[in-house]
A = this chain, B = another copy of it.
Amino acid sequence: MVPPGIRDVAARAEVSVGTVSNVLNRPTKVSPAATERVLAAIEELGFVRNDAARQLRAGHSSAIGLIVLDARNPFFTDVARGAEDQASVSGFSVLMGNTDDNPDREAGYLDLFEQQRVAGVLISPIGDVTARLQRLRDRGIAAVLVDRSGDATTFSSVSVDDVAGGRLAVDHLIDSGRRRIAFVGGPFAIRQVDERYSGAEQSVAGHPDTTLETVRLSGLTVLEGRRAGAQILARPAADRPDAIFAANDLIAMGLLQAFMMAGATGISSATGISVPDDIAIIGYDDIDFASAAVVPLSSIRQPSSTIGQTAVTILLEEADDADLPHRQVVFQPELVVRQSTRSE
């Protein structure tokens, strides 16, 4: 019971293998009568093309590789979604690899994709992969960087302007009448964190009567956010900021929870902090949970799935013509206002 091949189809339809291939790949070149017989034969035999053979001949597969830092981060799942949608338009599929910030896994996926001769690779790199990507390119495998602006013009890249995002967030806080801003986040070694902070600095610098303090954290998690919240709660009320820009939504949610819990268990109502009355909070990423928080969170939204789509578009163009000039696409983030920063 071997799977039928193109030869079996040809025999059954009483045409040559070439004709079957033409029906499949250049339908206009075949007479209607022959086409019909071939299609009937395919149907009857349950014939399915063997991708391996096609790829072998074609020299590369019709898949593109996507290497992300964290498959559980909604930002990346959205990017992946956009990439898939765009790829399927051109008949490509997407293979996703998850590195978990581990350079070994990153190298592993690059090896795998190279063996598979994918048409191109989309990657949010961890370490310095330019040499590796250069080698892929020599092999005819295009590469586009995601969420990291490229080193000069060696590779195209698609990213978001995190500095502008930081500015957007803090401008909004200031516009709603806040003056004592705190940035809560870390580690600053993460480019995104650093740039969001720079944006915040720029915004504050433009308004002489405002101040910016920093609460450094060692991670972008809910728990770290709570720690920071406890720390702020411990201060005398007069000493607290009146607005917080959190480096991402998870931290913002942690802060929110810390403030709420203090209010709920409330030894005295003075220990609680009301959001947004006492302190406004804005996060970053606009994850699904942001709108579902106890107090719906204002946030900075990134056009995640558009990023994926754009990256695929560029990738396929470059896969088609390797000599195309490389492009650096930078998207602008967008302010989403919800209850956590409503003016009093």
A residues engaging B (CB < 8 A)? 1, 3, 46, 48-53, 55-56, 61, 71-72, 74, 77, 80-81, 84, 93, 95-96, 98, 111-112, 114-117, 135, 138-140, 221-223, 226, 253-254, 257, 260-261, 263-264, 274, 289, 292-295
CB-CB nearest in chain B for A264: B263
Given A46-B135, A294-B260, are A71 and B61 also a contact pair (CB < 8 Å)? Answer: no
Question: Are A223 and B115 in contact, with the CB atoms below 8 A?
Answer: no
A135 to B48, CA, bound (A): 11
Question: Are B51 and A116 in contact, with the CB atoms below 8 A?
Answer: yes
In the A-B complex, list the 7 residue pairs whose CB atoms are closest, starting with the nearest: A52-B55, A222-B292, A52-B56, A51-B115, A257-B294, A51-B116, A3-B139
Q: Which residues of B contact A294 (CB under 8 A)?
A: 257, 260-261, 264, 294
CB-CB nearest in chain B for A254: B292
A117: which of B51, B293, B295 is its contact (CB, 8 Å)?
A: B51
A140: which of B3, B111, B135, B260 is its contact (CB, 8 Å)?
A: B3
Question: Are A50 and B46 in contact, with the CB atoms below 8 A?
Answer: no
> A79 CB to closest chain B CB, in angstroms?
12
Interface of chain A, helix or strand or loop or mixed? helix
Number of copies: 2
A264 to B339, CA, bound (A): 15
Question: Are B52 and A117 in contact, with the CB atoms below 8 A?
Answer: yes
A55 to B139, CA, bound (A): 20
A56 to B117, CA, bound (A): 14
Question: Are A115 and B77 in contact, with the CB atoms below 8 A?
Answer: no
A50: which of B53, B56, B98, B293 is its contact (CB, 8 Å)?
A: B56
A265 to B233, CA, bound (A): 19
Q: Which residues of B contact A48 (CB under 8 A)?
A: 111, 114-115, 139
A196 to B46, CA, bound (A): 41
A95 to B223, CA, bound (A): 33
Please name 15 further chain A to chain B contacts, defined as beta carbons within 8 Å, in addition to the given A46-B135, A222-B289, sorted by A numbering.
A48-B111, A49-B115, A50-B56, A50-B115, A51-B52, A52-B55, A52-B61, A52-B116, A52-B117, A72-B77, A223-B292, A257-B292, A257-B293, A264-B264, A289-B289
> A66 CB to closest chain B CB, in angstroms?
11
Question: Are B264 and A260 in contact, with the CB atoms below 8 A?
Answer: yes
Question: Are A74 and B77 in contact, with the CB atoms below 8 A?
Answer: no
Q: Which residues of B contact A254 (CB under 8 A)?
A: 292
CB-CB nearest in chain B for A55: B52
**Max chain B C-beta neighbours (<10 A), residue from A1, A84, A292:** A292
Q: Which residues of B contact A116 (CB under 8 A)?
A: 51-52
A254 to B3, CA, bound (A): 52
A52 to B114, CA, bound (A): 11
> A223 CB to closest chain B CB, in angstroms?
7
A56: which of B56, B84, B139, B261 is its contact (CB, 8 Å)?
A: B56
> A203 CB to closest chain B CB, in angstroms?
29
CB-CB nearest in chain B for A139: B3
> A105 CB to closest chain B CB, in angstroms?
10
Q: Which residues of B contact A84 (CB under 8 A)?
A: 98
Question: Are A112 and B93 in contact, with the CB atoms below 8 A?
Answer: yes
**Max chain B C-beta neighbours (<10 A), residue from A77, A84, A260:** A260
Given A254-B292, A292-B254, are A50 and B261 also a contact pair (CB < 8 Å)? Answer: no
